[in-house]
Every structure is written in C-alpha cells, then in structure tokens.
Amino acid sequence: MIQRIQTIWLLVTAVLFGLEYWPALSFASTMVPGEGVFADSLLKTSEDSVLSGACLTSALMALIAVFLYKNRESQLIVAALSGLIQAVAFIGWGFYLLYKSGLFQQFRADFALYSGMAGIFVNWLATRAIRKDAALVKSMDRLR
C-alpha cells in the first residue's frame, strides 16, 4: 500500500485539504471590511459552511481513497470526486462569495487558497498515478 506513489500523493492531498479547515488560516482577505463573512476583512474556511464542508469532505475522501488500493477503479473515482468537490467549492463558491460581497476587485489570496490549489494539483498527480497503475495491471493480465 505505502510503496505506491499514489498513496503518498493521496496522503499529501488529505493533509493539504485538511489544512484549509484550520481556523487560523484564511482563504482570502480584502483591503476594507465588508458584510457577512467579510466583516473582519478575512474569509476563513471555517466561517462558511459550504467551504468547511467541502474541505472536510475532500480531505476525508482522499484519506479513504488511500485504503481502496485493492480496487483501483473505486480508488480512482473517489480520488477524482475529492478533487472535483474541492475545485467546485473553492473556485466556484469562494469566488462567488467574493463577487456577491462586491469585494472581488480588492481580494487578495491567502494560504488556504494556495493550499487548496496545491491539493488539487497533488490530487491530479494521484489520479494520474492510479490510472497508470491500472493500465499496467491490465497490460500484465493480457500477457498471461
């Protein structure tokens, strides 16, 4: 299980997605205070239920995908779904909150946004490695 590179990538993905939920890290900041979640000029992942739910769900799904190593198709689906949830929630919902508040022009990305983008990239590396592994097993089955 641990000897395969996708296991390492999935563990790193789970850590990066889980790091976003840490309350001390903010998703985005603005120059001036706004309304709602931007009252303190910071959007933290833990302040919004959609962002926090997506963050925790993605981290949990990436961790579950580590233990699905015997069924590569299921592992691929769970890992890809984890990245998709993360991408839709952070890119879609996060920027929607910024646009809705009228502070999109003053937005500045913070660590949680960078962590999410890095997690999506590492998740893509994991799904690519799972696909390669499945193709290798399939080609070895043909040789038998």
22-68 per-position pLDDT tens digit? 776 777 777 777 676 666 777 777 777 888 888 889 999 999 999 98
53, part of any domain: yes
Overall average pLDDT of the 114-143 stretch: 86
Structure confidence by residue, pLDDT tens digits, 70-115: 888 999 999 999 999 988 988 788 777 777 777 777 777 777 778 8
- Using alpha carbons only, what angle is made at residue 93 by residues 65 and 38, rounded to the nearest 5 degrees? 125
- The residues facing 44 across adjacent strands are 26
C-alpha distances in Å from residue 111, one per residue of 62, 106, 128, 132, 141? 20, 17, 26, 31, 45
Query: What's the pTM value of the predicted model, to 2 decimals?
Result: 0.82
Of the candidates 88, 82, 26, 77, the one whose C-alpha atom is nearest the C-alpha of residue 56 is 82
88, part of any domain: yes
Give the Cα separation of 22 and 15 in Å (integer).
11
* Domains of the chain: total: 1
Give the Cα separation of 67 and 51 in Å (integer).
25
Give the Cα separation of 141 and 25 in Å (integer).
47
122, part of any domain: yes
Helix, strand, coil % in the chain, rounded to nearest 5? 75, 5, 20
116, part of any domain: yes
144, part of any domain: no
Instruction: Quote the domain boundaries for residue 52.
Output: 5-138
Give the Cα separation of 43 and 137 in Å (integer).
45
Tell me the percentage of the chain whose pLDDT exceeds 90: 30
102, part of any domain: yes
Give the Cα separation of 85 and 32 in Å (integer).
30
What pLDDT was estimated at residue 79?
93
Stretch (H or E) spanning 105: none
